[in-house]
A and B are shown apart, each in its own frame.
Chain A
Amino acid sequence: MHRRLPLGITILALVGAAFVVLPVLALVIRAPWGDLSTSLSGVGATTALRLSIEVSLAATALSLFFGVPLAWLLARGTFPGRSVLRAMVVLPIVLPPVVGGIGLLNSLGRSGVAGQWLYDGLGIQLTFTIWGAIIAATFVSMPLVVIATEAGLHSVDRRYEQAATTLGASQGLAMRRVVFPMLLPSIVAGAVLTWARALGEFGATITFAGNLEGRTQTLPLAVYQARQTDPGGAIFLSLILVVISIVVLVAMRNHLMKAR
């Protein structure tokens, strides 16, 4: 039926699994289930949840809208500094989010390098608004869609594209009708990861967008605030995030696998 793995590997693997699973399990064990309803109403769970879903979906849409063309440019474009651009584009994955937040303040804040034109010229201020939260989430999560899409593009055999153009299709038509369908699983996988990352975003958001219930206080920020005043409520809020993330990741597992 199944071949036995070497004992050492099995033990290390189980320790690794326990390390990841235990903190999540502890949330379930330690949650004060008796006060479920009072806790959740006390910490403004519905408001934060609604905001989190809006912000993460908007961030995913923005990431796709700009990230897929960006991946295309990186995969198919030939221009000097491409590898530098590629490294810069994925930097937010390894950057501490708070650093991203400070960068966003200095670039898109109302006195920021670019933000001052928005503010002085058009009267647009991103900070302390839901758009600030969306921008912060997009900044940290867009690289995931770029990486997944670019990997997908590299795995698509260019001969299909060439065959299509040889048969008279325009470059655009070949992309839409030939490349894009083959690329779709990669884009979907990237989008799911992007969305999950955006949903959990904290550091850049609190730094750039601030923390105000109903406007910029997403679920992770609500958890952070509740952990001091209402530790039980913080656990329930955390569990909401855990459940949503698990459900989506499990549901999308087939897509993620296909993209490999």
Chain B
Amino acid sequence: MKRLCALLLATTLVIAACSSDDDGGDTFSSATEPAETTELTVFAASSLTAVFQDAIGPAFEDANPGVTVSFNVGASDALAAQIQSEGTADVFASASGTWMDEIEKDPGVSDRTDFVMNRLVIITPPDNPADIQSIDDLATPGVQLVLPAEGVPVGDYAREALDNAGILDEALANVVSNEEDNASVVAKITTGGGEADAAIVYTSDVSDAAGNDVNAVVIPEDVNVIATYPIAVVEGAPNADVAADFVAYVIASEGQATLKDYGFEPLA
């Protein structure tokens, strides 16, 4: 038994050592750049994960030598709570104005501007096991529906759309899981071949660039909800100047074009 425990411990340590070696590699390569590196911390709504981490972040780093951008992604409400308790964010990009209002009150923001829009869409596994053809089908008893939790912006938008379609109660009776952020909702449809029959997420999640293996069912214009995303520099940002540059980059033509590629709708 003792030998087993020792072996387990040793294996864990070796694995931990290996993985930290990998991380070390990255740190080394960026450490060879100019000495005064700036580490910008962007708190971004879960739905922005792909576009920010894969496209806008690297492009901004290329345009600003010496700057590395790290993203803390999650549900906007959770991010707002983190900013208020820990306050280490440079930039906050929220999926709803409500949570930006919270941050504007405490600790305060500057350069606040709406920068992009998103709509809702229904996703199903590629083989669409419950044969969902329209939003009304989500009311069919027995459909396994996954929603983002209440309080999460996309969760509130989804309930609003279901209400607009007049099927809120029926659809809520079909909910099998309330997920904590947008990415977790998508995962319930994509992991393991699709556990649930349908979910409501953002249209940006079904763009080619997002690369999710799902089937999309359009929610009609008259019941759909438009999510408007605000972005701002957080009061007390450790790197306020670079943060303002990042906000400017996102709302300029290049950033807007990238967002469009990822299925978002530019404001202008």
Does chain A bind chain B? yes
Give me the interface of A with B, judged by CB distance under 8 Å.
Answer: 86-87, 90, 93-94, 102, 105-106, 109-112, 116, 127-128, 147, 150-151, 154, 206-207, 209-213, 215-216, 224-225, 227-229, 231
Minimal beta-carbon separation of A87 from chain B (angstroms): 8
Q: Are B177 and A102 in contact (CB under 8 A)?
A: no
- Cα distance, A150 to B1, chains bound together (Å): 8
Please pick, from B8, B11, B146, the residue contacting A210 in the complex, using a CB distance under 8 A.
Answer: B146
Instruction: Identify B1's interface contact among A127, A147, A206, A212, CB under 8 A.
Output: A147
Is the CB–CB distance between B191 and A105 below 8 Å? yes
Cβ contact of A94, chosen from B8, B150, B176, cutoff 8 A: B8
Are B81 and A228 in contact, CB atoms less than 8 angstroms apart? Answer: yes
Q: Are A231 and B81 interface neighbours, CB within 8 A?
A: yes
Asked if B149 is at the interface (CB within 8 A of a chain A CB), the reply is: yes
- Residue from A90, A102, A210, A212 whose CB has the most chain B CB atoms within 10 Å: A210
- Please tell me if the beta carbons of A228 and B179 are within 8 angstroms of each other in the complex: no
Q: Is the CB of B75 within 8 A of A86?
A: no
Asked if A154 and B1 make an inter-chain contact with CB atoms under 8 angstroms apart, the answer reads yes
Which stretch in B17-25, B37-45, B193-201, B234-242 binds the other chain?
Answer: B193-201
* Contact yes or no, B180 A112, CB < 8 A: no
Which residues of B1-55 have CB atoms within 8 Å of chain A's CB atoms?
Answer: 1, 4, 7-8, 11-12
A interface secondary structure, majority: helix
Quote the shortest CB–CB distance from A32 to chain B (angstroms).
Answer: 15
> When A105-B191, A109-B192, A109-B195 are in contact, do A128 and B177 touch as well, CB less than 8 Å?
yes
Contacts of B8 in A (CB 8 A): 87, 90, 93-94
Kindly report which residue of chain B lies nearest to residue A154, judged by CB atoms: B1
Chain B nearest Cβ from A92, distance in angstroms: 12
Q: CB-CB < 8 A to B77: which residues of A?
A: 228-229
Interface status of B223 (Cβ within 8 A of chain A): no
B178 at the interface (CB under 8 A from A): yes
Interface of B is mostly: mixed
In the complex formed, the residue of B with least CB distance to A102 is: B191
Q: Report the separation of the CA atoms of residues A92 and B165 in the bound assembly, to the nearest whole angstrom.
A: 44
Per-residue interface assignment for chain B, residues 178 to 193, with 1 indicating a CB less than 8 Å from any chain A CB and 0 otherwise: 1110001001100111
Q: Which residues from chain B sit less than 8 Å from chain A, CB to CB?
A: 1, 4, 7-8, 11-12, 75, 77-78, 81, 125, 144, 146, 149-151, 175-180, 184, 187-188, 191-196
Which chain B residue lies CB-closest to A230? B151
Which among A86, A209, A211, A224 has the highest number of chain B CB atoms within 10 Å? A211
Closest A-chain residue to B152, C-beta based?
Answer: A228
B12, B178, B184, B195: the one contacting A105 at CB < 8 Å is: B195
Which residues of the other chain, B, contact A225 by a CB distance below 8 angstroms? 149, 178, 180
Shortest Cβ-Cβ A-B pairs, 5 listed? A210-B177, A111-B193, A105-B192, A128-B176, A109-B192
State the CA gap A87–B7 with chains docked (Å): 9
* B192–A228 CB distance below 8 A: no
CA distance A146 to B83 in the complex (A): 43
User: A105 to B125, alpha carbons, bound, how many Å?
Assistant: 14
Please report the C-alpha to C-alpha distance between residue A147 and residue B180 in the assembled complex, in whole angstroms.
34
The reply to whether A210 and B188 form a contact with Cβ atoms under 8 Å apart is: yes
The 8 Å CB contact of A211, one of B4, B7, B125, B180, is B180
CB distance from A112 to the nearest CB of B (A): 6
Residues of B within 8 A of A154 (CB): 1
**Residue pair B195, A128 in contact (C-beta under 8 Å):** yes
A248 vs B193: C-alpha distance in the bound complex, in angstroms? 40
Q: How far is the CB of A47 from chain B (nearest CB, A)?
A: 14
- Can you pick out 21 interface pairs between chain A and chain B where the beta carbons lie within 8 Å of each other? A87-B7, A87-B8, A105-B191, A106-B193, A111-B195, A128-B176, A128-B177, A150-B1, A151-B1, A206-B180, A206-B184, A207-B187, A210-B176, A211-B149, A211-B179, A211-B180, A212-B178, A216-B177, A225-B178, A228-B151, A229-B150
Please tell me which one of the listed residues B7, B78, B125, B177 contacts residue A212 in the complex, with CB atoms under 8 A apart: B177
Give me 17 other A-B pairs in contact (C-beta within 8 A), A90-B8, A105-B195, A210-B196 excluded: A90-B4, A94-B8, A102-B191, A102-B192, A105-B191, A106-B193, A111-B193, A128-B195, A206-B180, A211-B178, A211-B179, A216-B177, A224-B180, A227-B81, A228-B78, A228-B81, A229-B77
